[in-house]
A and B are shown apart, each in its own frame.
Chain A
Amino acid sequence: MTNRKSFAAIAAVLFALALLPFGVSGYVLGLLTLGFYTAVFAMSWDLLFGFAGEVNFGPSFLIGIGAYTAALLNHYEHWPIWACVVTGGAASIVAGLVLAVPALRLSGPYFGLVTLVAVLMLQNIIVLFAGITGGEIGLDLPDVLSIDDSNNYWIALTFMGISGAILFGLSRSAVGLILQASGQDAMQAAALGFNVTKHKLAAFCISALFSGLSGAMLIFYEGTVSVGTVVDIAVGVQVIIAAVLGGRRTILGAALGAIFLIGAGELLRPLGEASTFVVSAIALVTILFVPGGFLGALLHGEKR
């Protein structure tokens, strides 16, 4: 597939999505809105895993920091939404740095374990300071993005479009190339004169920024923040499955996987508890037999 062709295809899909509010119900729009925010989580995660080669088992740590920072500022200080979202993104970067600077010195699976522990700690802190954070029940927000389904949908679509363009562009840039080299073979990348730690840290910051922004946007869409929606391990697991399902190292595949997961979860809801099982089974089969994911299989016909 040539670059121009795929660009035209993506533009067509986005245009079609933008027209959707004129044809479908508010229920479907709500579902897709959630899917778009999850898509940004998954794309951010893929930048780190697919390109920098670091497995972040705790994407919901970064998402949660962004979401709760924004929520607290809005709830207690009544900052305007845009200021809360921007500060949330910035807080994610800071928290990400605090986590990654020591963690990236570790090798092997330890980076992943550190990120996993970070999620559990964040969850504990939120529950511990329930008086301020609302604990497990959560916190209501005075402001919401919009009360209109279509507007919420367009905001989310635009946000996903811009985030996706930036993340995808970055992955295809010179910096993305260096990042990929660092992820695949750090020793060789260093021998070519690249400061591997610096590049991985930058990738972590960018991943944190978009996770945090998206987390903050999500809670202003929902009008409430709770551990279950933005911090819980299950949220992170869903992001990881979405990215792997959609196609590692493709960025756009991650978005595809996220929307698929949210959609499938809803479609299968009549199955009750079994729906989670079916979605997990699909994910498992994909990972086992099509390790390149949806998009990987489509673009590269790749088999490992």
Chain B
Amino acid sequence: MTNLLEVSNLTKRFGGLVAVKDMHLSIAGGEILGLIGPNGSGKSTVMKLIMGIERPNAGSVKIDGEEVAGLPSHQIARKGVGIVFQHSRPLHRQTVLENIKLALLPDSLLQLFAAAHIEERAHEIARRVHLHHVINRLPGTLPFADLRRLELARAIARNPKVVLVDEPFAGLTAPEVADFSNLIASFRKDGHAVLLVDHNVRGVANLSDRVLAMYLGEFITEGSADHVMRNETVRRVYLGGALQHHDRATPVNTADELLRVENLSVFYGKAQALDDVSLTVAKGEFVSVVGLNGAGKTTLFNAISALVPSTGVVAFDGGGLDGRSAGQIARAGIVQCPESRELFGDMSVRENLDLGGHHLPDEEAKKQLDWLLDLFPILKSRAGQAARTLSGGEQQMLTIARALMMKPRLLILDEPTLGLAPVILEQLSKALEVLRQTTDITVLLGEQNVTFALPHADRVYVLEHGRFIWEGPPERFATEAGAQFL
């Protein structure tokens, strides 16, 4: 059997960061390959490189034997590659039918009117993805799953040899997942080569003929879903080698509540990102919310900080936060370190820290700064350097240090380990443990890296598809909830 997609030695660098390194994969016609890796592992970049949205620095991408690496996106599309984006962005003033017809039009400036067969073909595709009953409606009136169907319809309109699907089941309910699985399986039957990109094996195991795992831009292993799940490195990446936890010297009084969240729900348009979530954090407690990318961690934190609209109750230190602006909430003492870090790149490390302590009296700011530079000694040696020249790990430490300069009552850390090398994780881990053992600070940590999240947690919540599915002390996590993470 010839391979419809053949990728070899593919490499992509963004500045100094190697996002994809010497990657190889191949898919034959009538085969589904699941490409998995945690957030920041480079799997989406691989997909973009195949589609030509990003240009590879080196390596080859062959579609049915023909080299396409480095070609612009529209030419690669015409060589027979279709992509189903995670977020659908249809034309909102055009009906479903017109949106599908768009995908069938020739790339011509002269053909002003669609040929007759295009109409017929569009109807055919709509029937195939079960959109025929809404074909004359505008996309804005459709439920989320139908928008995903439309995205699917457009990707397969030109009958591509290779179909790339980004997070096929994100945001779908169980019956919808089954329906989409059947649709994707039907591509296989028609001889297409299908690449499914997802976070974990579980998401793609049922559908994939083979699974390929990558981490930090590199190939780890490939084989059956079982084989990949048994792989040492995969287990370490997702679960950590050995899950451990540390007890506190002095236990916290869990009755003394600092943050209480009740029945919190968030919608992004039609997709529900957070579904009736409740949690509490006591004064001085370290609480970890673990969940895969897309589970809703960032949404939860943003809802607490009033950065996204939500329904439900958020109470802080006894008082409701209802109706307060994001700025007021930050001044009340909830400080969030976002995933994206949001440092002032052109300012020095010292200036970034000074900005964080801006509202403190000079004396106090100096004391706080000295304490932080002791906690993160690397920042002392980098004090005069521009923040953007720091490594990822150093930037993360600076982000946390800057947040601590604000003397927060509740520190929210959103995926501090994103894209960091293991050795950096250890330094970060030590700093967190010092915070936990020697200060009375309260921390709410969101992580997909369980190994990092567990040692410092007093309590753990597991978030999946916008809901808490498990809550308990870290020592019970491995036996009760660990299996969710492969």
The residues of A with any CB-CB pair to B shorter than 8 Å are 169-170, 173-175, 177-178, 180-181, 184-185, 187-196, 198-199, 202, 249, 300
- Interface of B toward A, CB cutoff 8 Å: 51-53, 72-74, 77-78, 82-83, 85, 89, 91, 93-94, 98, 101-103, 105, 107-109, 111-114, 154, 157-158
Residues of B within 8 A of A191 (CB): 51, 53, 73-74, 77, 82-83, 85
A57 to chain B, nearest CB (A): 25
> A175's contact among B77, B93, B101, B111, by CB below 8 Å, is which?
B111
Q: How far is B74's CA from A188's CA once the two chains are assembled, in angstroms? A: 9
Residues in B whose Cβ lies below 8 Å from that of A170: 112
**Could you write out 17 A-B pairs with CB less than 8 Å apart?**
A175-B108, A175-B111, A175-B112, A177-B105, A178-B102, A178-B105, A178-B107, A180-B91, A180-B94, A187-B73, A188-B85, A190-B73, A191-B74, A191-B77, A195-B74, A195-B107, A196-B74
Q: Nearest B residue to A249 by beta-carbon distance?
A: B93
* Min CB–CB distance B369 → chain A (angstroms): 37
- The docked-state distance in angstroms from the alpha carbon of A273 to that of B263 is 57
CA distance A230 to B77 in the complex (A): 43
With both beta carbons as reference points, the residue of chain A lying nearest to B88 in the complex is identified as: A188
Asked if A173 and B113 make an inter-chain contact with CB atoms under 8 angstroms apart, the answer reads yes
> Contacts of B82 on A, CB cut-off 8 Å?
191
| Inter-chain contact B72/A190, CB cutoff 8 Å | yes
Chain A residue at smallest Cβ distance from B52: A190
Docked-complex contact B53 and A193, CB < 8 angstroms: no
Q: Note all chain B residues with C-beta closer than 8 A to A249.
A: 93
Q: Are A190 and B102 in contact (CB under 8 A)?
A: no
Are A174 and B91 touching (Cβ within 8 A)? no
The answer to whether A188 and B89 have CB atoms under 8 Å apart is yes
**Contact residues of A: prevailing secondary structure:** helix
Complex: A173 Cα to B98 Cα, angstroms: 11
Q: Which residues of A contact B83 (CB under 8 A)?
A: 191
Asked if B109 contacts A198 (CB within 8 A), the reply is: yes
A185 touches B89 (CB 8 A): yes
Contact B93 A300 (CB under 8 A): yes
Most buried by A among B51, B78, B105: B105
CA distance A188 to B53 in the complex (A): 9
Shortest Cβ distance from B140 into A: residue: A302
* Nearest opposing residue in chain A for B154, CB measure: A192
Q: List 16 additional contacts besides A174-B112, A175-B109, A199-B109; criterion CB under 8 Å.
A: A173-B113, A175-B112, A181-B91, A188-B89, A190-B52, A190-B72, A190-B73, A190-B74, A191-B74, A191-B77, A192-B77, A192-B158, A193-B107, A195-B72, A195-B107, A300-B93
Inter-chain contacts of A174 with B (CB < 8 A): 105, 111-114
The reply to whether B72 and A177 contact each other, CB–CB distance below 8 Å, is no
Query: In whole Å, how far is A131's beta carbon from the nearest beta carbon of chain B?
Result: 41
Q: Of A169, A177, A188, A192, which is in contact with the most chain B CB atoms at under 10 Å from its CB?
A: A192
Interface residue from A178, A193, A198 paired with B158 (Cβ < 8 Å)? A193
On chain B, the residues within 8 Å of A192 by CB distance are: 74, 77, 102-103, 154, 157-158
Q: How far is the CA of A181 from the CA of B98 in the complex (A)?
A: 11
Chain A contacts of B103 at CB under 8 A? 192
Residues of A within 8 A of B105 (CB): 174, 177-178, 194
Beta-carbon contact of B78 and A193 below 8 Å: yes
Chain B residues within an 8 Å CB radius of A173: 112-113
Contacts of A188 in B (CB 8 A): 85, 89
Most buried by A among B74, B77, B93, B114: B74
Report chain A residues within 8 Å CB of B53.
187, 190-191
Contact flag A177-B98 (CB < 8 Å), given A187-B53, A193-B74: yes
Closest A residue to B89 using CB positions: A185
Note all chain A residues with C-beta closer than 8 A to B112: 169-170, 173-175
A180 to B102, CA, bound (A): 10
Q: Which 4 pairs of residues, A with B, have the shortest CB-CB distance?
A: A190-B73, A193-B77, A173-B112, A190-B74
Question: Given the known A-B contacts A184-B89, A198-B109, A249-B93, are A190 and B114 also in contact in the complex, defined by CB atoms under 8 Å?
Answer: no
Assembly CA distance A300 to B93 (angstroms): 9
Residues on the B chain within 8 Å of A181, using CB: 91, 102
Q: Are A194 and B74 in contact (CB under 8 A)?
A: yes
Name the distance in Å between A202's Cβ and chain B's nearest Cβ.
5
Closest CB-CB distance, A46 to chain B, in whole Å? 14
- Residues of A near B74 (CB, < 8 A) are 189-196
A187 to B83, CA, bound (A): 11
Residues of B within 8 A of A300 (CB): 93
Closest to A250 in B: B93
Cα distance A179–B89 in the bound complex, in angstroms: 15
Give chain B residues whose Cβ lies under 8 Å from the Cβ of A199. 109
Give complex CA distance A179, B6 in Å: 33
Closest residue on chain B to residue A203 by CB atoms: B109
Residue on B nearest A185 in the bound complex, by CB = B89
CB-CB nearest in chain B for A170? B112
In whole angstroms, what is the CA distance A199 to B112 when docked? 13
Q: Given the complex, which residues of B lie within 8 Å of A190, measured CB to CB?
A: 52-53, 72-74, 77
In the docked arrangement, what's the CA distance between A246 and B105, Å? 30
Q: How far is the CA of A199 from the CA of B111 in the complex (A)?
A: 12
Residue of B nearest to A199 (CB): B109
CB distance from A253 to the nearest CB of B (A): 13
